[in-house]
């Protein structure tokens, strides 16, 4: 399907381009979100008449996104989640969860602005991109931990999962040395006579 782009669309083109895209992409994404118009004679005339107005509106939207981006860029959000001993989350953190965390701190984002290739499924500090406008992308940091104390340790750069394994290994080694020192399983005077 041929469409006229009303704003920059990554991987497709910029404002005013007449491009051919797959029908589903046009019907399900570009047209409903007012990012494009069908490329026919009437829409081409209409676009040329309104082009200056559309460009001004696009610049205003970009400036608004830049202003919001300056407040969001580099911010850190702590998310407390349940996880197993290996650091694997029970569930995952998706775009909706990230958007909710940002909104709770006063940010103005929509879940469609969150760029996650796949859901986050492990504890730790993760960087997430937020696309505020087709030309404005910022990065926020998520600190996903099991408790506030663990989140503080992760913020300092400590790998809490590895630290937990080291503590467990040290405890097991100490228990093994205690067993060996105590003569595990043998008692004095415990001899059988036949």
pLDDT tens digits along 47-66: 888 888 988 988 898 899 89
**Architecture of domain 2-68 in this structure:** 3-Layer(aba) Sandwich (3.40)
pLDDT at residue 96 above 80? yes
Q: What CATH superfamily classification does 76-178 receive?
A: Ribosomal protein L9, C-terminal domain (3.10.430.100)
First to last CA, the chain: 97
- What residue ranges of the chain are covered by domains with CATH 3.40.5.10? 2-68
pTM of this structure: 0.71
Q: In this predicted model, which residue has the larger pLDDT, 187 or 38?
A: 38
Average pLDDT for residues 177-194, to the nearest whole number?
59
For residue 148, the model assigns a pLDDT of 87
- What residue ranges of the chain are covered by domains with CATH 3.10.430.100? 76-178
For residue 28, the model assigns a pLDDT of 94
């Amino acid at each position: 399907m041929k469409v006229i782009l009303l704003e920059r669309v990554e991987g497709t083109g910029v404002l005013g381009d007449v491009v051919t895209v797959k029908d589903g992409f046009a019907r399900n994404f570009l047209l409903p979100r007012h990012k494009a118009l069908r490329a026919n004679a009437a829409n081409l005339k209409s676009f040329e008449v309104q082009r200056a107005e559309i460009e001004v509106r696009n610049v205003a939207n970009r400036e608004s996104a830049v202003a919001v981006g300056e407040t969001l860029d580099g911010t850190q959000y702590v998310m407390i989640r349940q996880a197993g001993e290996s650091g694997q989350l029970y569930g995952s953190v998706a775009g909706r969860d990230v958007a909710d965390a940002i909104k709770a701190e006063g940010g103005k984002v929509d879940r469609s602005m969150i760029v996650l290739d796949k859901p986050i499924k492990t504890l730790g500090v993760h960087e997430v991109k937020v696309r505020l406008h087709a030309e404005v992308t910022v990065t926020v940091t998520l600190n996903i931990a099991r408790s506030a104390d663990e989140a503080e340790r992760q913020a300092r750069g400590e790998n809490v999962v590895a630290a937990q394994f080291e503590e467990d290994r040290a405890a097991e080694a100490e228990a093994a040395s205690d067993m060996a020192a105590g003569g595990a399983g043998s008692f004095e005077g415990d001899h059988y006579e036949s």
